[in-house]
């Protein structure tokens, strides 16, 4: 994409603000995961957790959250899901299985867990670190190789993400038509 996907606008505000507001409806606290450059931009705007596990992408953010408060479950949501709804977040929370490492949806193909729409239980911290020590920085691989609860998302369209300018323009058109 060559730019911060969290700054893209879909719902009359940047996507990270939109996702933060969605998460605030189902979580006690919500934070934006960010790197040091993004942290400066977020100051006095949104609560954030600056990555302590550098150059690991999403797994670094998940590990940072679990390290920040290792006694709670963390709902991780990607910032590039413009169709994500409160109803889907409610569904995920309602079907959470705290006895598993995580509760996740299958990806849009229905084959693998979607790590960035997942509730990560406190016990996942040690397992994620263990996978990292083995050279696995992908959170999906940790989910595939662990005891997790997998759900089918009620509306697979909500997993549609944006990875380039053409997809961004297409999503804007589709969202505009829905209004």
Structural domains counted in the chain: 1
**In tens digits, what is the pLDDT along the chain, a chain of 179 residues?**
677 888 888 988 999 999 999 999 999 999 999 998 899 989 899 999 999 998 888 999 999 999 999 999 999 999 999 999 999 999 999 999 999 999 999 999 999 999 999 999 999 999 999 999 999 999 999 999 999 999 999 999 999 988 888 888 999 998 888 76
CB neighbourhood size of 71 (10 A): 6
Record the pTM. Answer: 0.94
Task: Note whether 62 and 74 are within 8 A (CB).
Answer: yes
Domain of residue 77: give its range. 5-178
CATH number reported for the structural domain that contains residue 141 in this entry = 3.90.550.10
**Residues 46, 16: contact at Cβ < 8 Å?**
yes
């Amino acid at each position: 994409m060559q730019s911060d996907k969290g700054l893209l606008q879909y719902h009359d505000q940047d996507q990270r603000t939109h996702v933060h507001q969605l998460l605030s409806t189902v979580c006690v606290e919500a934070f934006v995961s960010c790197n040091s450059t993004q942290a400066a931009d977020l100051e006095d705007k949104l609560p954030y957790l600056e990555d302590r596990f550098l150059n690991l992408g999403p797994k670094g953010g998940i590990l940072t959250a679990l390290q920040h408060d290792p006694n709670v479950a963390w709902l991780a949501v990607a910032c590039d899901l413009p169709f994500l709804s409160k109803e889907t977040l409610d569904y995920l929370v309602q079907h959470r299985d705290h006895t598993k490492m995580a509760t996740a949806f299958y990806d849009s193909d229905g084959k693998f867990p979607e790590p960035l729409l997942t509730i990560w239980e406190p016990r996942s911290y040690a397992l994620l670190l263990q996978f990292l020590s083995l050279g696995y920085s992908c959170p999906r691989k940790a989910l595939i190789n662990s005891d997790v609860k997998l759900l089918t998302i009620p509306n697979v369209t909500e997993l549609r993400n944006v990875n380039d300018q053409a997809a961004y323009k297409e999503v804007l058109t589709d969202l505009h038509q829905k209004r």
